[in-house]
Structure 1
Amino acid sequence: MSKPQITSEIKPRPRVAAMPEYHPPLGNRDHLRLDFNENTLACSPQVKAVLDNISATDLTRYPERGPVEALVAEHLGLAADQVILTNGVDEAIHVLCQAFLDVDDELLLPVPTYTMYEIYASSTDARLVKVQADADFKFPFEKLLAAITPKTKLIAIANPNSPTGSIATREQILAIANAAPNALVLVDEAYFHFYGETVMDLVGKVPNLIVARTFSKAYGLASLRIGLLAGNAAHLRWIRRVLSPYSVNMIALTCLTAAIRDQSYLDWYVDEVTQARVEFLAGLTRIGLQYWPTEANFVLVNIGGAHKQFVADLLGEGILVRDRSADPGCDGCVRITIGTRDQMRIALDVIERSMTGISMTRI
């Protein structure tokens, strides 16, 4: 007797079915990783020492984020109830959208920018309002101000922005927060260390300001998935309600404590990358490639119609870079992470050979 054929399918919510999908590039991750804006070298030696001493018994216990949140808050000059640790900034964005975006609300989003703002917002019943940057990719301040309405509930500003490396000034952020008192203004400072300017000191002073940070970039803890939200304690209360109490694991919490105590290693790595950035951008200028000013550990480069060939050329030489041509206004653009000076000298040599080959095929 044959089994009955199952033809029915349980459908997701319409908003989920309509969500854009994110497919990160996978494979070949042992190459020179200039595609995800990670730390391209290593985490702090103190973090490695902690990892080496984690016992089998340690793994049997549920994690406790509270004590580490208090330590991180003190490190940032904030009160413990003004900081939430999350499973990367991705979870921070997700729970922020879940806690505050409802039917008829609007998320205001300057584009191009980090993809996950749109993805997580699209799972809610809010409306996404995109504000396109001009061809120079400068922060579209005036356009954003003009787009604020009584329905604006959340404004997401990556600062510095990915994939462009552009920044919003402190004055612009304050003006936006003042113009939208009934909306939360998320300032995502994932790349803060390579820029040096922050609005973290305004947390608690500007009531509708929320700041995100990650430990995946400069700190080199991307695999541990740990980030944070800092903001008005009254707002964070509702975020805690939708946040899993165990979403940040014990290994991440233990390593984070070591990472923030090793300031000298962090300072060394950031200094190395910022020096490499100056040298690498000068090299791109010498080659004749157009790029946009950046305050992050990456640069957006205009390769043009040969962008796919360029990415393939570098992959063939063991270097991963990120094609961003599908981003709004970024046709022909490739984003390149900036690592150490030695790494970027290797990359620049390969880039120059690739562009020479591409130029030859056009003759």
Structure 2
Amino acid sequence: PTYTHFLTYAGARGAVIKKVYGESPFELDSDAIMASLSYKTKLVYLVSPNNPTGIVWPASVIARIARTVPQAIVIVDEAYYEFCGESAIALVDTYSNIVVTRTFSKSFGIAGLRVGYMVGPAAVLHDVRRVFNPKSVNVLGQIAAVAALDDLEYLYSYVREVQQAREQLAQWFQERGMTARTTAANYILVQVPHPSTFISLCEEESVYIRDRSSEPQLDGYVRIGVGTVEQCLELCTRFERVLSRMPQLT
């Protein structure tokens, strides 16, 4: 299971999409993806940390993929990079078919302004510019992005707090006998018996989470975003009320 919006665009362009599943969605299975590659492969899409499972793709595995399919572009989506600190950007200088994409929507917190960037070989970026819309990022988004980059100390402080809150929230669910999986990003996965009921009760508490139970290998799982420690404590208070209305969870 992974972020699917990119696949929507690829499919709209007529791409034949081949999804690869390992033995467990929470463990990296590089052999499975290597076995799926061939001379027909045109593009490989990896999300690191993966959304929603949180798997991080090591640079060594990404490099191996790039060497195996030199005719293909390997896109590494690092939307949640700041929360884990591991990146494939250094590989761009060595491999002519690796591209890394990032966003200001997650750790920088300006999702509504739609600002992102790409790091890749000059030849690939040249081709991208041929179809690039120079008006795709509005002036307000540009100003906000520059302001965010001018205050990286705040970013680092926020990321550290999210990492702390992430562990606390996962532990809170685990102490109540529930399966909660922490990730390398700013969310956790929690397995609940009746996801739709759980989500509806959360919405009554003005808590909005993502249902991932329909994804392959993620039966019963919901994804919960993590903010500051203070926000986490408030979340736990509201989750306590939700669980009290679902006796089978307590």
Give the TM interval when normalised to the shorter protein.
over 0.9
1:162 partnered with 2:51: yes
CA distance in 1 between counterparts of 2:94 and 2:149 reads: 24
2:40 to 144, 151, 154: 151
Kept after mapping to 2: 8 A contact 1:139/1:168: yes
Partner of 2:88: 199
CA distance in 2 between counterparts of 1:186 and 1:160 reads: 13
Task: Spell out, residue by residue over 1:52-111, the C-alpha distance to the aligned partner (whole angstroms, 9 max, x if none).
Answer: xxxxxxxxxxxxxxxxxxxxxxxxxxxxxxxxxxxxxxxxxxxxxxxxxxxxxxxxxxxx
CA distance in 2 between counterparts of 1:183 and 1:151 reads: 9
TM-score, normalised on structure 2? 0.95
1:330 partnered with 2:203: no
Unaligned runs of 5+ in 2: none
Calculate the aligned-residue CA RMSD, in Å.
1.6
Partner of 2:160: 271
Aligned positions of 1:137-148 closer than 5 A: 137-148=26-37
CA distance in 2 between counterparts of 1:253 and 1:139 reads: 36
CA distance in 2 between counterparts of 1:136 and 1:183 reads: 25
Deviation at 1:326, TM superposition (A): 2.2
TM-score, normalised on structure 1? 0.66
Kept after mapping to 2: 8 A contact 1:276/1:344: yes
Which segment drifts farther, 182-191 or 126-135?
126-135
Number of residue equivalences = 250
CA distance in 2 between counterparts of 1:343 and 1:277 reads: 11
Return the letter of the residue paired with 1:335. R
Deviation at 1:125, TM superposition (A): 2.2
Task: Spell out, residue by residue over 1:177-226, the C-alpha distance to the aligned partner (whole angstroms, 9 max, x if none).
Answer: 11111111111110001101111122222211100000011111111100
1:259 to 148, 151, 154: 148
Partner of 1:300: 189
CA distance in 1 between counterparts of 2:245 and 2:140 reads: 46
Aligned positions of 1:245-256 closer than 5 A: 245-256=134-145
Identity of aligned residues (%): 38
SS in 1 for 2:23: coil
CA distance in 1 between counterparts of 2:182 and 2:28 reads: 12
Aligned positions of 1:227-242 closer than 5 A: 227-242=116-131
Aligned positions of 1:90-239 closer than 5 A: 112-239=1-128
Aligned positions of 1:55-94 closer than 5 A: none
Kept after mapping to 1: 8 A contact 2:74/2:99: yes
Q: 1:361 to 1:232 in 2, by over 3 A?
A: closer
Return the letter of the residue paired with 1:322. R
Q: 1:317 to 1:245 in 2, by over 3 A?
A: same
Partner of 1:81: none
CA distance in 2 between counterparts of 1:186 and 1:303 reads: 33
CA distance in 1 between counterparts of 2:248 and 2:124 reads: 58
1:353 partnered with 2:241: yes
CA distance in 2 between counterparts of 1:131 and 1:226 reads: 29
SS in 2 for 1:287: coil
Task: Spell out, residue by residue over 1:316-354, the C-alpha distance to the aligned partner (whole angstroms, 9 max, x if none).
Answer: 111111111222222211000011111111212332332
Deviation at 1:139, TM superposition (A): 2.7
Return the letter of the residue paired with 2:210. R
CA distance in 1 between counterparts of 2:210 and 2:185 reads: 15
CA distance in 2 between counterparts of 1:344 and 1:133 reads: 32
Deviation at 1:361, TM superposition (A): 8.6
CA distance in 2 between counterparts of 1:154 and 1:327 reads: 22
Partner of 1:314: 202
SS in 2 for 1:129: coil
CA distance in 2 between counterparts of 1:340 and 1:277 reads: 9
CA distance in 1 between counterparts of 2:231 and 2:185 reads: 17
Unaligned runs of 5+ in 1: 1-111
Task: Please tell me whether Structure 1 or Structure 2 has the larger radius of gyration of its CA atoms.
Answer: 1
Kept after mapping to 2: 8 A contact 1:136/1:292: no
Partner of 1:80: none
Following superposition, which runs of at least 4 residues in structure 1 exceed 3 angstroms of deviation?
none
1:341 partnered with 2:229: yes
